[in-house]
Amino acid sequence: MIQMQDEQVPPDSDRERQIFVTLSTVFALVSAMVGLGLLGSPVDVVASGALASDATLVAPAQWAFLLWRPIYLGMLAYAVLQWLPGQRTRPLHREIGWQAGWSMILAGAWVLVTQRGWLWIGVLFLFAIVFVLALVNLTLASGAVERRRAGSWLAVDATFGVYLGWASIATIAMVTATLKSVYITYGNLDPLVAVIVLLIGAGVGVRLALHTKASLTILFGFVWGFVAIAWGRLAGPLESPFVAGGAILAAVVVTGGTLAVGWAGRRSAAGMVAVAE
């Protein structure tokens, strides 16, 4: 099967994909330095502080953004992995390489547009990131590519799974911040609306679990974000124990839902084995 695929895919296409992923990674890493303030303004001060950790009730605490570091390291690891001997024609890279590269380009573009204060465009980029990462993770869960060893798993499954979970939380925060920037708020109902939004986010996480065989890496990204939101609401100018409790509830919901999906999947697999025997 793999031999037929090798014959059908021109060698130049594999090389083009490798170069595309590499250039995408470089672009993402350079843009990350802009977002960190090394080559530009930190993300939390652009757009008059609209994306700061205390800008809205669903903004994650500042430490949450440290998660970008292992994600970017994972991107770099994937870019290196695909150049190793025997990797160029590997079905894994042929299935997800282009999508992985686009997820890196979109991440870099998001940093650059937020530097300009273009929040609505930034929202569109985040939705695009989530969409592309969902495709990557659906492919990884579908069995369309071979099982990954530890090194490949860290560079691929861990990187793009955590990236998807965290990008989903970032989308919630970004949409809320963008709406607030044009004075769309709900007055005294803001805390209740914030909790509803967080629970909807948890529902999205459970939905992803249903289609990705209960990916624990995606779960980690969601839980990291929800805990960071809870942490941010327990202190500071936007202190809200109610929203903090809602964020913890959202973390519990997405965790319980993901584990339940995984347990059901294992039971179903065990039942199929028993019938086959």
List, for residues 147-186, the tens digit of each pLDDT value: 788 888 899 999 999 999 999 999 999 999 999 888 777 7
Q: Report in angstroms the alpha-carbon separations of 26 from 79, 94, 121, 219, 225.
A: 9, 20, 22, 27, 26
pLDDT above 60 (res 6): no
pLDDT band at 3 (very low <50, low <70, confident <90, very high): very low
Q: How far apart are the first and last CA of the chain?
A: 27
Considering Cα of 124, then 223, then 199, then 210, what sign does the dihedral take?
positive
Confidence of residue 277 (pLDDT cuts 50, 70, 90): very low
Output the furthest CA–CA distance in the chain (Å, rounded): 65
pLDDT of 187 > 80? The answer is no
Structure tokens at 42: 């930190």
Mean of all residue pLDDT scores within the chain? 88
Q: Which residue has the tokens 């992985």?
A: 100
pLDDT at position 10 is 60
Task: Work out how many domains the chain is built from and give that number.
Answer: 1
- What residues contact 76, with CB distance under 8 A and at least 6 apart? 25, 29
Give pLDDT, residue 199: 96
Confidence of residue 107 (pLDDT cuts 50, 70, 90): very high
Top pLDDT among 272 and 167 is at 167
Distance CA 11, CA 248 (A): 49
8-state DSSP, 65: G
Host domain of residue 202: 2-276
Rg over CA atoms, the chain: 20
- Write down the pLDDT at residue 53: 85
pLDDT of residue 11: 67
256 token code pair = 């319980």
Average pLDDT over residues 115-131: 94
> What is residue 183's predicted lDDT score, i.e. its pLDDT?
78
Q: Could you tell me which of 261, 264, 177 has the C-alpha nearest to residue 219?
A: 261
pLDDT on residue 264: 82
Instruction: Please check the confidence at residue 267 and state whether its pLDDT lies above 80.
Output: no
What is the distance between the alpha carbons of residues 24 and 12, in angstroms, rounded to a whole number? 18
pLDDT of 224 higher than 90: yes
Average pLDDT over residues 232-253: 94
pLDDT of residue 42: 78
Q: What is the pLDDT of residue 7?
A: 47
Rounded distance, CA 160 to CA 142, Å?
15
Would you place residue 38 in the very low, low, confident or very high pLDDT band (cuts 50, 70, 90)?
confident
Length of the chain: 277
pLDDT at 244 over 60: yes
As a whole number of angstroms, the distance between CA 141 and CA 135 comes to 10
pLDDT bin (cut points 50, 70, 90) of residue 93 is very high
Contact 102, 114 (CB under 8 A): no
Average pLDDT over residues 40-63: 84
> For 36, phi and psi rounded to 5 degrees?
-80, -10
Q: List, in order, residues 6 or more apart from 271 with CB less than 8 Å away.
A: none
